[in-house]
């Protein structure tokens, strides 16, 4: 089944601004570049990861009205939750594992802690989006048969008063205009952060940390990625990023890439992955 055709970009949205489009293009470029020398590898990986996230959240935004018109909310909201969770999880991983490791091994503390502070300029509104999507979906008929593949939000997130603080009321059903309006409040800040972060992890940071320590970090990162539930992590990543880039970044065994992803994990939520750019990557032919 092919990808759903991408709806037009509303002229008032962040996606129509030159700044966002330049950031998207810069991230996307990395997914088509060969693996660089070790000094530039970390920034290259981060740009590719940021391309995955911007691509996913852009689709959450753009498909909101279509999903209502097509009466496909169970799939669309499921996809959307995975998309937002990918970004949430990325920041959490940076804050708890990646940046502390880099600081401990010689990276400039102030720049990396600055990245963490930047996260907090938009993550509460983003987490509220996650809660809204999750709760609206949970109220749909059939949600119990197709439970979200994403883990429960932690207690801190659960306590966000999404109705009082943000006017996001799941009991009123899904409101695509409201979702887009709310996303407009944080997407620009998120994009700025994702672009600025790249400057803090270039060669001056990698040289301070050293090649051997970065290799060790690579091992830690891979272990984390491989421990995520493939039903949300691998499926949405494969269906978004080109396969050569997936292979270089994830280094999955043949059996996982060619058999488990297409034949075991992708099937149950196939309707979600049609909101991704490349659902064909979740097939036998696409994983070659």
Say if CB 280 and CB 235 are below 8 A apart: no
What is d(CA 72, CA 68) in angstroms, rounded to the nearest whole number? 6
Q: Calculate helix-pair angle for 38-69, 187-199, nearest 10 degrees.
A: 170
What is d(CA 100, CA 189) in angstroms, rounded to the nearest whole number? 23
Contacts of 266 (CB under 8 A, 6+ apart): 235, 238, 239, 273, 282
Q: Contacts with Fe ion: how many residues (CB under 5 A)?
A: 2
Smallest gap from residue 265 Cβ to Fe ion (A):
25
Say if CB 236 and CB 86 are below 8 A apart: yes
Smallest gap from residue 35 Cβ to Fe ion (A):
18
4 vs 119 by CB, closer to Fe ion: 119
Smallest gap from residue 245 Cβ to Fe ion (A):
16
Which among 71, 75, 20, 76 is positioned nearest to 50, based on CA atoms? 20
Smallest gap from residue 116 Cβ to Fe ion (A):
8
95 vs 207 by CB, closer to Fe ion: 95
194 vs 235 by CB, closer to Fe ion: 194
22 vs 161 by CB, closer to Fe ion: 22
Stretch touching Fe ion by CB under 5 A, among 98-106, 164-172, 197-205, 210-218 = 197-205
Stretch touching Fe ion by CB under 5 A, among 17-25, 90-98, 129-137, 267-275 = 90-98
* Residues near Fe ion (CB under 5 A): 94, 197
């Amino acid at each position: 089944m092919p990808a759903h055709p991408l709806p037009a970009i509303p002229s008032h949205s962040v996606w129509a601004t030159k700044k966002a489009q330049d950031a998207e293009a810069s991230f996307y470029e990395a997914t088509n570049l060969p693996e660089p020398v070790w000094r530039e590898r970390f920034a290259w990986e981060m740009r590719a990861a940021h391309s995955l996230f911007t691509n996913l959240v852009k689709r959450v935004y753009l498909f909101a009205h279509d999903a209502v018109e097509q009466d496909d909310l169970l799939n669309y909201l499921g996809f959307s939750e995975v998309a937002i969770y990918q970004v949430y999880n990325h920041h959490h991983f940076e804050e708890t594992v990646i940046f502390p490791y880099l600081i401990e091994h010689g990276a400039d503390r102030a720049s990396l802690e600055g990245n963490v502070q930047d996260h907090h300029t938009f993550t509460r509104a983003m987490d509220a989006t996650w809660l809204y999507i999750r709760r609206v979906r949970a109220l749909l008929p059939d949600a119990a048969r197709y439970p979200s593949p994403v883990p429960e939000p932690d207690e801190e997130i659960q306590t966000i008063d999404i109705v009082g603080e943000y006017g996001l009321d799941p009991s009123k059903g899904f409101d695509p205009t409201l979702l887009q309006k709310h996303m407009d409040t944080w997407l620009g800040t998120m994009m700025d952060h994702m672009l600025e972060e790249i400057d803090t992890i270039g060669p001056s940071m990698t040289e301070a940390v050293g090649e051997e320590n970065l290799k060790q970090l690579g091992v830690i990162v891979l272990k984390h990625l491989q421990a995520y539930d493939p039903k949300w992590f691998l499926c949405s990543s494969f269906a978004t990023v080109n396969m050569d880039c997936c292979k270089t970044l994830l280094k999955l065994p043949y059996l996982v890439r060619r058999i488990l992803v297409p034949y075991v994990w992708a099937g149950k939520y196939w309707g979600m992955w049609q909101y991704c750019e490349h659902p064909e990557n979740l097939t036998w032919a696409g994983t070659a």
